[in-house]
């Protein structure tokens, strides 16, 4: 399954900025793992909204980086900063806190696995701790007995992703070095962009050229169109890496001529074989086009 990430609705003031962490916690902010929490006893009927709002109240002394349930995730504190979730200086300083729906449905677990995999793509291999590891508590409830399963699933997804990347590298005739070069360039671009709330988890907002009204990502795509990279390979990576999707850019400005030749779709021909067809009929716009791109690019690349 996939999930929706909300980075704007909830903003908790209960955190320690990364720059202050050495003084407050006796060591730098490092991300070595995630700590799994629950919202509380399901008998009390806790909800996503109530949990997120409670963790955003000033003066409560508690927060988390993410609140999660099936198909839905909210970021309350940037992972670059320390959220107050573990009841332990070490746990706060070294882990990302994830508050999960205590009903623990299969879909809740799937979303947790996906989010941890996403975090690993940014921070490398992460340990998975239950809240009980850091302090005496009933938290994370039933998740306590699923930690090993979650780790196994994250590792299995990682193996599948590696196989998918290898297959696509072969399809595009990319050597390992070419692939690494593309990913390195994307990381440089991401680092040079304006990121809201810090880290890679803020809103991607590449600054447009002065005097233009185009959204930043269009300026970014045009810049790629003008440079010397292998455009076809680069764009197909880019659409996934920034989760742009075709519809997110068509309404904001024109592609250059090279990009117009690149975007397209797979179509099954009369012989039953899939072939790449450039362009889209004008009728295929909006959400349907984005859904198609999201489907074929999901988990193809991670970094």
* Res 196 pLDDT > 60: no
How many percent of the chain have pLDDT more than 70?
A: 53
Mean pLDDT computed over 251-262: 40
With H, G, I as helix, E, B as strand and everything else as coil, classify residue 169: helix
Q: Which of 135, 160, 185 corresponds to the end of one domain? A: 160
| Higher pLDDT, residue 203 or 37 | 37
**Residue 214 confidence (pLDDT):** 40
| 254 lies in some domain | yes
- Give me the domain span that covers residue 225: 172-297
Q: Provide the token pair at 113.
A: 């696995």
Lowest mean pLDDT among 59-73, 97-111, 134-148, 198-212: 198-212
Domain shared by 22 and 150, yes or no: yes
Domain shared by 149 and 272, yes or no: no
Cβ pair 208, 219 in contact under 8 A: yes
Cβ pair 286, 294 in contact under 8 A: no
**Residue 131 confidence (pLDDT):** 97
Q: Provide the token pair at 27.
A: 């060591």
Query: Which one, of 18, 301, 25, lies nearest residue 169 by Cα?
Result: 301
Domain shared by 206 and 139, yes or no: no
pLDDT digits (tens, 9 = 90+) for 197-224: 333 323 333 343 444 444 444 445 455 4
| 166 lies in some domain | no
237/203 Cα distance (integer angstroms): 19
CA angle 154, 158, 161 (to 5 degrees): 135
pLDDT digits (tens, 9 = 90+) for 77-109: 999 999 999 999 999 999 999 999 999 999 999
User: Which is it for strands 274-278 and 4-6: parallel, antiparallel or unpaired?
Assistant: unpaired
Lowest mean pLDDT among 68-77, 122-131, 214-223, 263-272: 214-223
Domain shared by 201 and 278, yes or no: yes
């Amino acid at each position: 399954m996939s999930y929706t990430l909300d980075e704007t609705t909830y903003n908790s003031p209960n955190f320690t900025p990364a720059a202050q962490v050495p003084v407050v916690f006796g060591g730098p902010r490092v991300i070595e793992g995630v700590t799994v929490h629950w919202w509380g006893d399901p008998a009390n009927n806790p909800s996503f909204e109530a949990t997120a709002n409670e963790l955003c109240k000033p003066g409560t002394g508690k927060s988390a980086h993410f609140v999660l349930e099936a198909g839905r995730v909210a970021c309350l504190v940037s992972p670059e900063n320390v959220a107050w979730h573990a009841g332990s200086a070490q746990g706060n300083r070294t882990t990302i806190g994830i508050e999960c729906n205590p009903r623990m449905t299969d879909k809740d677990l799937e979303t947790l696995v996906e989010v941890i995999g996403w975090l690993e793509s940014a921070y490398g291999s992460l340990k998975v701790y239950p809240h009980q590891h850091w302090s005496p508590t009933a938290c994370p409830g039933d998740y306590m007995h699923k930690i090993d399963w979650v780790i196994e699933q994250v590792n299995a997804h990682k193996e599948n992703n590696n196989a998918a990347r290898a297959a696509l590298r072969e399809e595009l005739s990319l050597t390992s070095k070419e692939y690494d070069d593309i990913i390195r360039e994307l990381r440089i671009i991401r680092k040079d962009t304006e990121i809201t709330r810090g880290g890679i988890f803020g809103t991607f907002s590449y600054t447009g050229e002065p005097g233009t009204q185009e959204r930043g990502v269009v300026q970014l795509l045009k810049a790629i169109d003008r440079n010397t990279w292998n455009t076809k390979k680069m764009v197909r990576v880019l659409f996934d890496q920034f989760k742009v999707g075709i519809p997110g850019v068509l309404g904001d400005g024109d592609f250059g001529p090279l990009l117009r030749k690149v975007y397209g779709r797979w179509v099954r021909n009369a012989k039953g074989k899939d072939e790449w067809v450039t362009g889209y009929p004008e009728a295929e716009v909006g959400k349907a086009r984005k859904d198609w791109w999201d489907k074929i690019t999901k988990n193809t690349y991670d970094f």
